[in-house]
Amino acid sequence: MKIALTLQQLEAFAEVARTGNFRAAAHALHVSQPALSRTIRLAEHVVGTRLFDRDTRHVEITPAGRELLPIAQRILADFNGAFSELAQFLEGRSGHVTVAALPSAGVALLAPAIAEFRRAQPQVQFSFVEGPAEVVRAAVAEGRADFGISVRPGAHEPLRFRHWLDDPFVLVCRADDPLAQRRTVPWSVFASHPFIASSVRSSIRPITDAAFVRKHLHVHQALEFPSVAAAGAMVLAGLGITALPRLALHLLNQQGLAAVPLQAPALSRPIGLLTFAGRSLSPVARSFMDCLVAAT
């Protein structure tokens, strides 16, 4: 036997059982007393028996009503709890966020931002995908990440780019190198020193190559580094000097190294937030993105 009581009927029944009074129950439910009486009669019709014995003075729950009451209370509690969870999700106070980021942005920007956000919204869970720009773009495009932190994608890619900050380039040399004592150095310095270049897959390489072309520099590439940490080790070993965006310094053991701002020209790597065009963000992902931008 299937009993198809509605939530409205269960709520009305539970409130009358709680108060023992139709007038008080109607007031608590913000309905008229006749409307509440009709709802209870419909519930009794569905169940096939009386739920309350009542006269003009007294209301008493029947045995069938006593059997139904804990069931109704459990259903209403589950329903209210589920919608409370939904409300928290829609308000951006719960849920799961997956962010794909360049390693430098992940270490320098994302980790402290997650810690700050979770202090205010402790129920939010995070996952992190790390990799070069192409990995970040793929994670966002394939839906494995809600959004990415990376450089601007190509015009042909179905990704939106929201500019966040500019990451200025610096010269990295040994701390005992005479260059370390200068306030700034020009890009032309790389024409007279062995240059340790980034991988062709790195988001750094197109900017350094463009700088050399712009200044008509002939640069001797001594080595190519596979990671920022390897670049630091190569510089420390005396194999040459390199150019890195400032955020990348967070990936280095900087003991024995120095970073000097590069000028003439002053170049930066634009960092932004990537989303997939046409795909809606969850409220919590959107809230976290807005907090990232507001914090800078």
- Once rounded to an integer, what is the mean pLDDT over residues 161-173? 95
108: DSSP letter: I
Average pLDDT over residues 152-175: 93
CA separation, residue 17 to residues 8, 50, 185, 208, 287 (Å)? 14, 13, 81, 76, 42
Neighbours of 102 (CB within 10 A): 30
Q: What is the pLDDT of residues 181-203, one digit of tens each?
A: 999 999 999 999 999 999 988 88
| Range list for CATH 1.10.10.10 in the chain | 7-90
With vertex at residue 207, the alpha carbon angle to CA 266 and CA 183, rounded to the nearest 5 degrees, is 30
CATH 3.40.190.10 fits 95-163+273-294, yes or no: yes
CA distance 207 to 196: 14
- Residues near 107 by Cβ (< 8 Å), separated by ≥ 6? 250, 251
Per DSSP, the residues of 224-290 read: EESSHHHHHHHHHTTS-BEEEEGGGGGGS--TTEEEEEEESS--EEEEEEEEETT-PPPHHHHHHHH
Q: What is the pLDDT of residues 225-256, one digit of tens each?
A: 999 999 999 999 999 999 999 999 999 988 99
Q: Which CATH architecture has domain 7-90?
A: Orthogonal Bundle (1.10)
The per-residue b/e assignment along 23-60, b for 16 or more CB within 10 angstroms, e otherwise, is: eebbeebebeeeebbebbeebbeebeeebbebeeeebe
**Which homologous superfamily is 166-269 in?**
Periplasmic binding protein-like II (3.40.190.10)
Say yes or no to pLDDT of 274 above 80: yes
What pLDDT, on the 0 to 100 scale, is given for residue 25? 92
- Tokens representing 149 are 């932190």
Q: What is the CA radius of gyration of the chain?
A: 32
- What CA–CA distance (Å, rounded) separates 163 from 175? 33
- Give the position of tokens 């069931």: 71
For 12-50, the pLDDT digits (tens) are: 999 999 998 999 999 999 999 999 999 999 999 988 899
Q: Where does the chain hold its CATH 3.40.190.10 domain(s)?
A: 95-163+273-294, 166-269
3 pLDDT band (50/70/90 cuts)?
low
